[in-house]
């Protein structure tokens, strides 16, 4: 597959990363080498094989819906310098 600047930039945008020209060049080279190695998976037939999203099969583990001690609002807000009236201050969501 073609690994070009456009693809690298598209991935970076999706990943919320801004790359320097030098980084684009490096990642282009790395991606070529790494994806070439990953392509070994083309050789194995997995028709009819189920996915393993975890190594052991586990059913949904449920717990009783009971209120238990958790972090207080004060403790939670202590993680940030930027809070007001009990809320985190964040950037604008609509630019």
Partner 1 sequence: MTPTTKTPSKKEIQNVLKECETHNKKHHCFTTLCKEEAQKQKKAKGTLSGIYISVKDNICVKDVETTAGSHILKGYLPKFDATTIQKLKEEGATIIGKTSCDAFGFGSFNTNVGKGFSIPKNPHDTKRTTGGSSGGSAAITQLATFPHVSLAESTGGSIACPASFCGIIGLTPTYGRVSRYGLIPYANSLDKIGIMSKKVSEIEPILKVISGFDEKDGTSLKEPLNLNAPKKLRIGIIKESYAKGIDPEIQKALKSILTKLKQKHTITEISLPLTTTYGVACYYILATSEASTNLACLSGLRYGQELPKKNKGFNSYFTEVRTKSFNQESKRRIMIGTFTRMAGYRDAYYIKATKVRTKIIQEYKKAFKTYDVLISPTMPFIAPTFSNIDKMTPLQNYLSDILTVGSNLAGLPHASIPIGKKEGMPIGLLAITDHLKEGTLLQTLKEIEALQ
Judged by the rule CB under 8 A, the positions of this chain that interact with partner 1 are 8, 11-12, 14-19, 23, 26-27, 30-31, 33-34, 37-38, 40-41, 44, 46, 49-56, 58, 60-61, 63, 71, 75-76, 78-82, 88-95
Taking the complex as a whole, the smallest distance from the CB of residue 52 to partner 1 amounts, in Å, to: 4
Q: Are 26 and 3 in contact (CB under 8 A)?
A: no
- CB distance 11 to 24 below 8 Å: no
Q: Which is nearer to partner 1, 15 or 67 (CB)?
A: 15
CB of residue 61 to partner 1, shortest distance in Å: 5
Interatomic CA distance for residues 77 and 48, integer angstroms? 49
Report, in Å, the least distance between residue 62 CB and partner 1: 9
Three-class SS of residue 83? strand
Q: Smallest distance from the beta carbon of 14 to partner 1, in angstroms?
A: 5
* 85 or 95: CB nearest partner 1: 95
Burial class of residue 27 in the structure, from the number of CB atoms within 10 Å of its CB (0-12 exposed, 13-18 middle, 19+ buried): buried
The rounded distance, in Å, linking the Cα atoms of 24 and 5 is: 7
């Amino acid at each position: 597959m073609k690994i070009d600047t456009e693809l690298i930039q598209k991935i970076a945008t999706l990943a919320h990363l801004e790359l320097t020209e030098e980084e684009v060049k490096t990642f282009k080279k790395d991606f070529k080498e790494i994806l070439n190695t990953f392509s070994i998976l083309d050789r194995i037939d997995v028709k009819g094989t189920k996915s393993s999203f975890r190594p052991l099969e586990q059913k949904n583990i449920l717990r009783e819906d009971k209120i238990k001690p958790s972090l207080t609002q004060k403790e939670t807000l202590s993680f940030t310098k930027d809070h007001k009236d009990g809320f985190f201050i964040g950037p604008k969501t609509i630019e």
